[in-house]
Chains A and B, each alone.
Chain A
């Protein structure tokens, strides 16, 4: 209806305007520096969570556990944690006990290298491997309330802890893969992640501040979605935003990109469940 049309129309106009502005800016910068890529790293002192780029009202929504809709997802996960699954009727709690103790720090170091998979895996993949391997139950679908719930519940146990993902030797080549994905131009708008989130951090796009793009609060409640979603959902939105074909959920590209993003954010505290516009 009119709501959808006007938003799509304004989005198209906004992207057009941004593309136009960016082309001008890019020409200026290229002329000035003669550089091909500007994707440097943000210094550890300058890391800034998107929490600070939001309005005071949105920050208040995130900070109040009875007003934060992401906490409803955490509640869902808390119930699922105790729910028996598979032929042996085992729940997460049967092996892992009290999540507040056993899951503390887990999300902060994910994606984590899995020797069995020989690559880093995301928290969602970790949960599904447990479901298949230990509970002998069917895997949970990406973006299903169940997988979001369990992921949010587990990640919530790391709230306040600094992100440490990607800091080990075995992860290094995959962090590099992710870095390349972050820096490469893509889509019809021919933009890289770095173009906005590193080179133009703190600038503005369609009236809103451009955050550095740190995944400090996933799964999070996005006002745009009117629901909770994963980091992979958000990354796919970004790719659609530059008119690129998004990588599939659970793809190695998204896992590597997640790993790089978490490594890039290392030191920042986890906020799950965050609220973002």
Chain B
């Protein structure tokens, strides 16, 4: 499990636009970087990041090798109801990692 940092407000008013920030540890090996012997280190990146709000996808990002190591993304969503925000990262080899955060909406 890679370390991840997620910033979500714990509470929000209904209809408020909230900002979400997510950062995960990953080298995002581009496939264009040579090692000490000069051979290219094979590509190994996170390909997709998505956020679901009470089960419904509200945001998705497709990453290419040009996304910086330890990929960071910031986006917004309307605070619609109390419940759970889930964050999923999928690598180019199919590995997934999901983190969740609760949210209270008045």
Contacts and interface: CB of A to CB of B under 8 A. Distances in A.
Interface stretch (B64-72, B75-83, B89-97): B64-72
A188 interface: no
B33 A4 contact: yes
A73 B69 CA distance: 13
Contacts of B3: 72, 75-76, 79
Interface string A64-85: 1111010110011001000000
A190 interface: no
B40 A1 contact: yes
Contacts of B25: 69, 72, 76
B72 A67 contact: yes
B12 interface: no
Nearest to B26: A72
A16 to B, nearest CB: 23
A69 B33 contact: no
B14 interface: no
A3 interface: yes
A227 B69 contact: yes
Nearest to A4: B34
A165 B87 CA distance: 42
Contacts of A4: 33-34
Interface of B: 3-7, 21-25, 27, 32-34, 40, 68-70, 72, 74
10 contacts: A1-B32, A3-B33, A64-B21, A66-B6, A69-B72, A72-B4, A72-B25, A75-B5, A226-B27, A226-B69
Given A3-B32, A67-B23, A72-B3, 6 more contacts: A4-B33, A67-B21, A71-B23, A75-B5, A76-B3, A227-B27
